[in-house]
Amino acid sequence: MPKILAMVLAGGRVDELGVLTFLRPKSTVPFGGLYRFIDFPLSNLMQSGIERVGILSQYRSSSLIEHIGTGASWDMTGRHRGITILPPFQGLHASDWYKGTADAVYQNLDFIHAHKPDLILILSGDHVYHMNYHRLIQFHLDMGADVTASFVEVSPSGSSRFGLARISDDDARGGRLLEYLEKPAHPLSNWASMTIYVFKTEVLEQALKENAGINSHEFGRDILPAIMDKYEVYGYKFYGYWGYSRTLEKYWTANMDLLGERPGIKLDDWQVRTNLDHEAVRDRGPALIDTRGSIDNSRVYNGVRVRGRVDRSILFPGAYVGVGAVVKDSILFFDTQVGPGAKVENTITDLGVSIGKDSIIGNHNEALTVIGLRTQIPQGIIIGPGCSVHPELRAENFIQKLYGQGNFITSDN
């Protein structure tokens, strides 16, 4: 195989995830009871034998830096392998905050030059999927491509959210890219971009330099359409599970795909790795289920204590459910505490949330309720469906007993 350098786009914040990305990039949003989004591409790289990785960080990168650590969790430490965090920087000449995905790579061409790769593999750091990148790269080599982009089939109803392509039938694995449009009003196909690209190094450098003088700097919107008539550009068709998770509803659905008798995501088969030192996961004791507690169709991890009822939910390490409390259709991040008699339905709680005795949060089969990082909800509070609660609110901020549907709750309320 040629020498490959991977560049992971991991620094962005997604507004649609609301309070979950107020204090972290999307790439480190917790997922599935133990993991972060970025664990999926990093585990794929590890299993594909691609061991030199640059991670492009930008927005509130402290959690990303802490999670990546030395890279040892993905076996990426050594003389000829490793993970390098690449934040924006001020150099000899004028430089700026990354203006887009393409500009982020452009500002790090010196990092690429230092490693002299034959191919650059560019990945998004915030999607949930399992892929052998060598199959993609072998397709790229077999086709004699200059650039290959990976696509996955999506439902017509949601296709307008993606960059869409028409791909020729040259090969069962994919073919020449015939047409590509970013989020078109009228879908031209159901093949959506996965934000995964393979570039010949010299082609990528030339394309980035040509793009540097324009106002927009995105791979999908700018780079891909600009090079289709100049180079051999191919589309690779991926047929596995792909969790986009850009909105709260999609995020919740992807988590729920871990549950049931036939889960859409089979983590045991995927062999995903994470940093067990982050949030001290490895130091926590076993999960404890009280005689008064029950769990049905849920995932719970070490350090969880259940004294109430948990149905169709995901509990991260350290979560606690008190006596008589009910947690249903919900996702509780690390160290969430649900007090006795409380009822939590269709809700996502961030790290360190405390829900007081007899409080009622959310409602079944209605819009998701989201509670921000380290918020303390006192006893007896009712928060309706569709509400979002600002991070780090304290009990004294909750001066009312009832919050209606769809409110954004801050200390000013």
User: Do residues 134 and 260 share a domain?
Assistant: yes
Closest alpha carbon to 241 in 127, 149, 148, 165:
127
Return the amino acid letter for 147: V
Compute the average pLDDT of residues 41-70.
93
User: Do residues 222 and 145 share a domain?
Assistant: yes
Given pLDDT bands bounded at 50, 70 and 90, which one contains residue 93?
low
What pLDDT, on a 0 to 100 scale, did the predictor assign at position 92?
A: 45
User: Do residues 121 and 165 share a domain?
Assistant: yes
* Dihedral angle computed from the Cα positions of residues 191, 197, 202 and 203, in that order, rounded to the nearest 10 degrees: 20
Is there a contact between 160 and 72 (Cβ–Cβ < 8 Å)? no
CATH number at residue 335: 2.160.10.10
Judge whether 275 lies within some domain: no
Judge whether 277 lies within some domain: no
Closest alpha carbon to 83 in 110, 115, 113:
115
User: Do residues 254 and 385 share a domain?
Assistant: no
191-200 vs 294-296, strand pairing mode: unpaired
Would you call 42 exposed, middle or buried from its count of C-beta atoms within 10 A (0-12, 13-18, 19+)? buried
What pLDDT, on a 0 to 100 scale, did the predictor assign at position 150?
A: 97
Judge whether 324 lies within some domain: yes
Closest alpha carbon to 248 in 129, 330, 133:
330
User: Do residues 294 and 183 share a domain?
Assistant: no
Given pLDDT bands bounded at 50, 70 and 90, which one contains residue 246?
confident
Q: Which residues pair with 369 in a beta bridge?
A: 347
Judge whether 278 lies within some domain: no
Judge whether 130 lies within some domain: yes
Judge whether 333 lies within some domain: yes
User: Do residues 263 and 288 share a domain?
Assistant: no
Residue of higher predicted confidence among 341 and 14: 341
Closest alpha carbon to 330 in 307, 308, 347, 309:
347
Which residues, including other chains, have CB under 8 Å from residue 267's CB and lie 6 or more apart?
32, 258
Q: What is the pLDDT of residues 176-217, one digit of tens each?
A: 999 999 888 888 899 999 999 999 999 999 999 988 777 668
Calculate the average pLDDT of the chain. Answer: 92
One DSSP character per residue, 164-226 reads EEEE--SBTTEEEEEEEEES-SS-S-SEEEEEEEEEEHHHHHHHHHHHTTSS---IIIIIHHH
Question: For the chain, what is the largest distance between any 2 Cα atoms, rounded to a whole number of angstroms?
Answer: 68
What pLDDT, on a 0 to 100 scale, did the predictor assign at position 96?
A: 62
CATH number at residue 98: 3.90.550.10
User: Do residues 298 and 404 share a domain?
Assistant: yes
User: Do residues 382 and 328 share a domain?
Assistant: yes
User: Do residues 15 and 116 share a domain?
Assistant: yes
The CB density around residue 183, as the number of other CB atoms within 10 Å, is 15
Is there a contact between 44 and 137 (Cβ–Cβ < 8 Å)? no
Task: State the sign of the Cα–Cα–Cα–Cα dihedral 365, 356, 316, 133.
Answer: positive
Domain range enclosing 152: 4-269
Would you call 209 exposed, middle or buried from its count of C-beta atoms within 10 A (0-12, 13-18, 19+)? exposed
Judge whether 274 lies within some domain: no
User: Do residues 238 and 296 share a domain?
Assistant: no
User: Do residues 200 and 91 share a domain?
Assistant: yes
User: Do residues 218 and 328 share a domain?
Assistant: no
What pLDDT, on a 0 to 100 scale, did the predictor assign at position 393?
A: 94
Would you call 41 exposed, middle or buried from its count of C-beta atoms within 10 A (0-12, 13-18, 19+)? buried
Judge whether 40 lies within some domain: yes
Number of structural domains, the chain? 2
Tokens of 390: 């600002």
Spatial distance between the Cα atoms of 79 and 130, rounded to a whole number of angstroms: 27
Q: What is the pLDDT of residues 103-112, one digit of tens each?
A: 889 889 999 9
What pLDDT, on a 0 to 100 scale, did the predictor assign at position 335?
A: 98
Given 221, 238, 269, which residue is the final one in a domain?
269
